[in-house]
Structure 1
Amino acid sequence: MGFLTRWFFAFTLLALTFNPTQYNYVNWVRDYGSMNLSIAVLLALILCVGYIIYLRATLRSIGAGGMVLVLAIVGALIWVLYDLGVLRLDNKSLNVWLGLITLSFVLGIGLSWSHVRRAVSGQSDVDDIDD
C-alpha cells in the first residue's frame, strides 16, 4: 500500500464527512438524521474509527509539530500558486476542496512516514510496551 493509497483513503474519509456538495455525512445527518438515528450513529462511529486510526498514526509518526510543518508547506505552496496566478481563491467550493486535499495530505504523510523513515534511514519505528 503506497502513499497514494493512504492519501486517497484519508481524502475519502474527510470528503465523506464534509464537502461542498450535498453528498456528505454532515448534510445527510442535518436533513435525514433524525429519521434514521440508528444509521446516523453507526456511520458516525465508523467515521470516528477512521479518524482515530489516521490521527493516532499521524501524531505518533510526525507529531503535532510535524502536522503544523506539513500544513505550513502546503499553505506556502498554495500561496505561491496564488501569487503566480495559477490559482484563484474567490470560489468558496474550491477553497473547501483545497482544505480537504491539504488535510488529507497531512494525514496521508502521517500514515506513510514510518515507511519513508525506514526506507531512508533503515530504522524501524516500534511502539513502547509497558510491562
Structure 2
Amino acid sequence: MGFFLRWIFAFLLLAVTFNPTDFNYVRWSMNNYATELPVTVLMGLILTIGYIIYLRATLRSIGGFGMFLILAVVAALLWVLYDWGILALTNRSLNTWLGIFSLSCVLGIGLSWSLVRRMLTGQADIDDVDE
C-alpha cells in the first residue's frame, strides 16, 4: 500500500501541474496570473516543494541512471502495447496522460525504492549522518 500511495501522489503532483484538460496549474496560472498573482505564486511554491521532495528522494535512492532505466522499461511496455495493437498513439491527450503516467512511475519507484530494497534484500538504507 505504501508504494501505491507514493505513486498516486506522484501522479497527482504531475497531473495537477499539467494535463490535457483545462484543470491544471499551468493553464490556470497563465489565465489568472494578472488578477491572482499571490495565489499563483503560493501554488507554484507548493508544487515546487513537492517536486523537490520527490526528485531529491528519487535521485538519492536510484540516481539518474536508475531513473533512465525505469523510464526505459515503461517506454518498452508502451512499445509492446503499441506493437500488439492494444495502444494507438494518435490521440495527443492520451499521449500526455501516458507521459504523466510514465514520469509518475519513475518518481513513485524512486521514492519507494528503500522499501522495495528492504523487502527484497532485508537490508535497510540509512541517510548519511554527520556526527
TM-score range, shorter chain: over 0.9
The TM-score, its normalising length taken from structure 2, stands at 0.97
Q: How does 1:8-87 map to 2 (within 5 A)?
A: 8-87=8-87
Quick one: which amino acid aligns to residue 20 of structure 2?
A: P
Aligned partner of residue 125 in structure 2, secondary structure = coil
Cα deviations across residues 37-83 of structure 1 (Å, max 9, x unaligned)?
A: 10000000100110011001111111100000000000000000000
Runs of 4+ residues over 4 Å off in structure 1: none
The TM-score, its normalising length taken from structure 1, stands at 0.97
Quick one: which amino acid aligns to residue 19 of structure 2?
A: N
* Count of residue pairs brought into register by the alignment: 131
State the distance in 1 between where 2:57 and 2:91 align: 33
State the distance in 1 between where 2:124 and 2:45 align: 31
Quick one: which amino acid aligns to residue 35 of structure 1?
A: T
| Alpha-carbon distance, 1:130 to partner | 2.8
Quick one: which amino acid aligns to residue 126 of structure 1?
A: I
State the distance in 1 between where 2:4 and 2:20 align: 23
Quick one: which amino acid aligns to residue 100 of structure 1?
A: I
Quick one: which amino acid aligns to residue 96 of structure 2?
A: V
Structure 2, unpaired ranges of 5+: none
Cα deviations across residues 81-116 of structure 1 (Å, max 9, x unaligned)?
A: 000000000000000000000000100000111001
State the distance in 2 between where 1:125 and 1:51 align: 22
Residue in 2 that maps onto 1:92: 92
State the distance in 2 between where 1:32 and 1:44 align: 13
Quick one: which amino acid aligns to residue 117 of structure 1?
A: R
Aligned partner of residue 58 in structure 1, secondary structure = helix
State the distance in 2 between where 1:95 and 1:28 align: 21
